[in-house]
Amino acid sequence: MNKVLIVQPWFSAVGHPAQSLLNTARILGKQAEFIYIVSIEPATTGIVVSVEPGATGIEASLAKLAEYARVITFTVASASLREGTFKAIQQLRCLFRNEKMKGSILFFDAHLVLLSALWGSWTHIPEVSRLGVIYLIGPERIKSSRLASWLVKRFISRPEVVLYLRTEELVSAWHEAFPSVNAAHIRHMPSLEIPEDGLTFPEPVKTTLLKFGIVGQIRRGKGLEYLVPLFQRHPHLGKLTVAGTFNNPAERAALPELADFPGFIDIFLSENDLLQQVANQDYLLMLYSNWDERMESAVLYLAARANRPVITYNKGWCGRLVAQFNCGLFAPPERSALKEFLSMLPKPGEAEYQQLLAGIQQFRINYSGGHAKSAFLKALLE
């Protein structure tokens, strides 16, 4: 039987990588032919069989992942994607050699330039029928280097290689950047972020003071440096909650506004806790800056799972989907107009707010596992 090896060399990194892979595995279900190969730090490389009850963090994530398929881990010294990619390639070479298997590989994340440089020269596994790589951003950085551009173009032109992008906007950008590469080698692969787990959350109750949330990884680029002072100066706008953990100490130092902010919940949140924090709000704020607007946002999927509308900018992937499903509102691009905009928002119980809830529910239906699973497997296997 041909195997499908799904590799996440960033599994142990802080943030979304482990949860995203778990969401995917949950939707794909138990798959006898699948093997998940993931990074851990520090631990003993091997096959995950069981984890002690009550385990948390990466140990708990590994235990959940092992419910769906065989899991093999490899040890990394840091959260470096470059290191994780290199160690993953080493693990794959050993695995194909020692177990004499055949099949396909999907890198859930990868350092694309390093993989492009190594595959076909230092590393080539003839038994691999397809090597897929999910890439999250546009081609501009790679195109800015002649060497990187040449390596990646050579790599994605190989007959067994497919570059997968998460949004149609990114697919178009990559086709434009590499017009001579066969279009079949640059394709869209949908995210599997909304499992059909039966979780439901009640609609927000009527209120005169709206609740706003910024959840997940705490970092620059989410508007915290001006949103926190704005809500502190104008409490009549509503209550702002910031819930999650910092990506690294540098991000904490760069956001001193949060140090004494009473609405800050500084804690790593499990998936259920994260969803509950979203459900505690009336709106999720997605006012990103220094952000590739062509990228998808995990927060929109969280909003759909918890049945809450979003506030974002009218551009890119988020803008397109919010407009398509009417599942949120568009903030003005000028910060000076934000205060007035927030003061005029529809509240729970009002007709316009109920329409937004209907929109986010429709988005959830369209992007839930049942709809996306077949498209994911088609992109992966055909």
Mean pLDDT lowest for which of 69-78, 216-225, 373-382? Answer: 373-382
Helix (H) or strand (E) holding 176: helix 168-177
Question: Residue 369 has what pLDDT?
Answer: 78
> Which string of b and e fits 76-86 if b means at least 16 CB within 10 Å?
beebbbebbbb
Q: Tell me: the pLDDT tens digits for 8-56?
A: 999 987 667 888 899 899 999 998 899 999 999 874 344 443 444 444 4
Residue type at position 279: A
> Which element (helix H / strand E) includes 23?
helix 17-28
Mean pLDDT of 287-296: 93
For residues 81 and 109, the answer to whether their CB atoms sit within 8 Å is yes
Contact of 126 with 25, CB cutoff 8 Å:
no
pLDDT confidence bin for 294, thresholds 50/70/90: very high
What rounded mean pLDDT belongs to the chain?
90
292, burial (CB in 10 Å: exposed 0-12, middle 13-18, buried 19+): middle
Q: Starting at the edge strand that comes first in sequence, how are the strands of the sheet with 264-266 ordered?
A: 264-266, 239-246, 211-218, 283-286, 310-312, 328-330
pTM of the model: 0.89
Position 125 scores a pLDDT of: 79
CB 295 within 8 A of CB 167: yes
Report pLDDT for 42: 73
Over the stretch 317-346, which tens digit does the pLDDT of each residue have?
999 999 999 999 999 999 999 999 999 999
Find out whether 119 and 131 touch, Cβ atoms under 8 Å: yes
- The answer on pLDDT for 151 being more than 90 is yes
Q: What is the pLDDT of residues 152-184, one digit of tens each?
A: 999 999 999 999 999 999 999 999 999 999 999
**Strands, sheet with 161-165, edge to edge from the N-terminal-most edge strand:** 46-47, 70-75, 34-40, 3-8, 103-107, 128-135, 161-165, 186-188
pLDDT tier at 101 (50, 70, 90 boundaries)? Answer: confident
Indicate whether 370 pLDDT > 80: no
Taking residues 196-212, what's their average pLDDT?
88
- Type of residue at 157: S
In order of 70, 163, 221, 294, 309, the CA distances from 316 in angstroms are 37, 20, 16, 5, 17
pLDDT of residue 238: 97
pLDDT band at 299 (very low <50, low <70, confident <90, very high): very high
- Distance, CA of 183 to CA of 189 (rounded, Å): 14
Alpha helices in 234-315 (DSSP H): 249-254, 271-279, 298-306
Query: Residue 337 to residues 295, 332, 341, 343, 359: CA-CA distances in angstroms?
Result: 25, 6, 6, 10, 25
